[in-house]
Amino acid sequence: MSKISKLKLDSMDYAISKWMYSYGKPILRFSLAIIFIWFGYLKVILDSPAQELVANTVYWLDPEVFIPILGIWEMLIGIFLCFRLTIRLAILLLVLQMPGTFLPLVILPEVCFVKFPLILSMEGQYIIKNLVLISAGIVIGGTLREKEMISKKYTSADAG
């Protein structure tokens, strides 16, 4: 590869990386908001594919009351993610909600696993994907003091 081609490739790589750096976190935030609003709305109208799983997991509460309340909770997470001033509240609601999403792995392992511990059912996969939602929440939460971190030249390597 010629030196000119390498420079063009490097320039293009830089431009793409710069775009991703500039827009990646806002896109992640609004994508997460859409997911929570959409999934929450389906619970509010009692038309969620997760409805039976939730009802069987939290069997001690009336599903016709609990599932819509959970849906409103999820919609609030999504709505709060849309506004910079309420991101901390969204993260708080997310932190309080997410542990419950893993309950079926303990309470209903026969539903979550085809073959324990590695072969997940569709329901199990639906639950495990929440690791990505948690990670996205962590990244979004980290943006709240990003300017301060950059000004102090804090890097992820400093975390340990």
Mean pLDDT by 10 residues, the chain (160 residues): 84 95 96 98 97 96 98 98 97 97 97 95 96 97 89 72
pLDDT computed for residue 157 by the predictor: 67
Kindly write down the DSSP assignment for every residue of 66-98, as one continuous string. HHHHHHHHHHHHHHHHTSGGGHHHHHHHHHHHH
Only one residue has tokens 């301060």, namely 148
Q: What is the DSSP letter of 154?
A: -
Range of the domain at 93: 3-159
Q: How many domains does the chain have?
A: 1
Q: What is the DSSP letter of 61?
A: S
pLDDT computed for residue 147 by the predictor: 86
CA–CA distance, 75 with 45 (Å, rounded to integer): 12
Full-model pTM: 0.88
